[in-house]
Amino acid sequence: MRTPALLILAMSYLTVAAAESLPLKLVRTIPLPGVKGRFDHFSIDVIDRENRFVLASWPMEKFQANFPMALDEANHRLFVGCRKPPRLVILDTEVGKPVADLAISGDTDDLFHDVKRKRIYVSCGEGFIDVVEQSSAGKYQRVAKIPTAPGARTSFFSADLDRYYLAVPERGTQKAEIRVHQPE
C-alpha cells in the first residue's frame, strides 16, 4: 500500500512546485462595504468586475449559510447551496430573486453545473451526491441521491473530461479515496 501514498505525495509535491513557479500577481482589490470580520453567508454580493464595486447585495433571509455556488451565465441563473436549511436555491441573476428552491442533503460544500445535461451536482457531507435536473426555465427537480460516505463533500466536475471527482475522507473503516464518476 506504499505506492499509492508515494504517488499522492509525489503528485502533491509536483503541484506545489508548479504553483511556486507560476506566481500570482495581485491586479486589483474590490472593497466590500459592510463586511466586518468573517464573511457572513447571509447575502450574496454582486460585483462589477470592471469598475470594482458592489452593484447589489441580495439578502439570503430564508436560506442561510450559503457556501457553494455555480453560475449559468447564458441563462441568468445562480445556483446556491445552503446549509441552514439544506436547500439548493436558484436565483435569477437579472433581478436577484429566487426562481426555485428544493431540498438537498445536509452539509453541502461543492456544487457544479453540467451545461450539457442541464444538471447540478451537489456534494454533501451527510453522505450523498444530489443530482438536480432542469426540466424547464424555472423547474428543477432532484433526480438522484447517490450514497457516498459521511464527510465526503469536496468534489470537482470537469466538463472537458466529463468526470465528477469526489474526495472521501478516512472515517472508521472507510479508507480515504477519490471516487471518479462518469455522468450518464
Domains of the chain, with CATH numbers? 2-181 (2.130.10.10)
27 phi, psi to nearest 5 deg: -105, -20
Kindly report whether the peptide bond that precedes residue 85 is cis, defined as omega within 30 degrees of 0.
yes
Burial of 29 (0-12, 13-18, 19+ CB in 10 A): exposed
Helix (H, G, I), strand (E, B) or coil at 66: strand
Tell me the per-residue pLDDT of 144-173, one tens digit each, with 9 for 90 and over. Answer: 999 999 999 999 999 999 999 999 999 999
More confident residue, 10 or 114: 114
131-143 pLDDT tens trace:
999 988 789 999 9
Distance CA 38, CA 147 (A): 33
pLDDT at 13: 43
With cut-offs at 50, 70 and 90, classify the pLDDT of residue 92. Answer: very high
pLDDT of 56 > 80? The answer is yes
Answer whether 178's CB lies under 8 Å from 163's CB: no
- Give pLDDT tens digits for 3-18: 344 334 344 444 444 4
Residue 97 has pLDDT above 50, yes or no: yes
- pLDDT (0 to 100) of residue 19: 47
Is 0.75 topped by the overall pTM? yes
